[in-house]
Structure 1
């Protein structure tokens, strides 16, 4: 019950995109907040459609959190790979929105 109330209330506190308000076009981060809300609600396909980089970002932050408490052999290479994949997905999504 409390989780449902939280998920309904979180949508009321989302920040507006300043770039979109000032310049009238989406920034590379547009859709991230709504994608996180969709992910928390369990709409995994909707979250991906809203912001395709959501899963690589979640993987990156999860890996960094785990790596903070344990030692992983190839942590630097995995971190760089996850960062590059996140940037590629973010920029790819941004370019597709602009076309």
Structure 2
């Protein structure tokens, strides 16, 4: 009877150790998942900020180019040439 009890206690201890090991692995993975989620959120925020910065930079570049076009008289030249063509076609 004592031998059977000792064997059952040994089995119970093995099962308990296995369960504890599995619980530790699950906790470790949960921690890894939380860290990865935090990192993903950080990367997402950085991506959004970089996108916004690039968008702002491109908008400024567009304004600069529009000013340059206005200074160069390109629009006036295009309008003049368009009217000149229309006048020529009308003849």
Structure 2 length as normaliser, TM-score? 0.29
Q: Higher relative CO (CA 8 A, sep ≥ 6), structure 1 or 2?
A: 1
Per residue, is there more helix in 1 or in 2?
Answer: 2
Structure 1 length as normaliser, TM-score? 0.27
Decide which structure has the larger Cα Rg and report it: 2
